[in-house]
Amino acid sequence: MSMRELVVLGTASQAPTRQRNHNGYVLRWDDEVILFDPGEGSQRQLLHTTVTASDLTRICVTHFHGDHCLGLPGTIQRLSLDRVPHPVAVHFPAGGAEYFARLRHATSFYETAELRVEPIEADGQRIALSCGTLEARRLRHPIETYGYRLVEPDGHRMLPEKLAAYGIAGPAVGELIRVGHLDLDGRRVTRDEVSEPRHGQRFAFVMDTGLCDGVYALAEHADLLVIESTFLESEAALAAEVGHLTAAQAARVATESGVRRLVLTHFSQRYPDSRRFHDEAREYFDGDLIIAEDLTTVQLPPRRVASAG
Ligand SMILES: [Zn+2]
């Protein structure tokens, strides 16, 4: 299967620390390489990974607080410096268009890269990609904020031994997938006879929000959920006041939504010991739990096994 993984550039909220760069994440998903929320220093963090600026196909910004977008000027200029040959799509809350325009043209540079600017205008906006659907959902934060999810449709996995048994090979396989059946010497072979159902995979990215319907809509059955847990429960009142989640809330969302692999990130600098996020989340979530660290890679878990029928 093609590569599907999350590359973590930074994990700090608000202010970077000696251990944590400002936020920033890259999702590799088949032919899409999507940069989410590039905070300050993202361009340099990329140098420590296997992703280059020229690999990027798309940039998604959840909102225009600095820790989620101050990396845009450097990253955008780098696209032109490196003469990226393909267009790069950019999504962000439409209400923040003025901030985007300023960041994009923060300084003088020779612009050669083609940016396809497609702001998110409404809750539930969908963007069709070759590998699935990118969907934006409104979140609850003091300024206009959208989380994103990438949903691959369910499909079929062809079974080579069954294809071989019927002598089906080459272009006939494509026709069978497309049409749903194939007539061979007077006998009809259906797609279901030579394939099994294949669950589509889901990735969700939930940043800077209090608990709201959008959080659950994004997290639903995610194979990999990246979600902010700025605070611990000891600061739950403060978290609610400023539009953020605690580790316990994020973990409960993951459990209630059937998430398989949970990545907590966007940590407040007030907690030097990140094991506390793990311990708190573990009380509410018993799936794969990862406390994000800068410059680490998290794989999408293997596909959910399709249930019979
Ligand atoms: Zn924010």
Ligand 1 centre distance from Cα of residue 245 (Å)? 11
Asked whether 104 and 59 are in contact (CB, 8 A), the reply is no
Ligand 1 centroid vs 138 CA: distance in angstroms?
13
Question: Catalytic residue among 37, 67, 208, 223, which?
Answer: 67
Q: How many whole angstroms from 17 Cα to the centroid of ligand 1?
A: 17
Contact 213, 271 (CB under 8 A): no
pTM for this prediction: 0.92
User: How far is ligand 1, taken at its centre, from the CA of residue 266, in Å?
Assistant: 10
Q: How far apart are the first and last CA of the chain?
A: 24
Report the separation in Å between the CA atom of 113 and the middle of ligand 1, taken as the mean of its atom positions: 28
Ligand 1 midpoint to CA 14 (Å): 8
Main-chain dihedrals φ then ψ at residue 58, nearest 5 degrees: -160, 145
Q: For residues 125-158, b (16+ Cβ closer than 10 Å) or e, as one string?
A: bebebebbebbbbbbbbeebbbbbbbbbeeebeb
**Per-residue pLDDT tens listing for the chain (309 residues):** 579 999 999 999 999 999 999 999 999 999 999 999 999 999 999 999 999 999 999 999 999 999 999 999 999 999 999 999 999 999 999 999 999 999 999 999 999 999 999 999 999 999 999 999 999 999 999 999 999 999 999 988 899 999 999 999 999 998 998 899 999 888 899 999 999 999 999 999 999 999 999 999 999 999 999 999 999 999 999 999 999 999 999 999 999 999 999 999 999 999 999 999 999 999 999 999 999 999 999 999 998 876 644
154 part of the active site: no
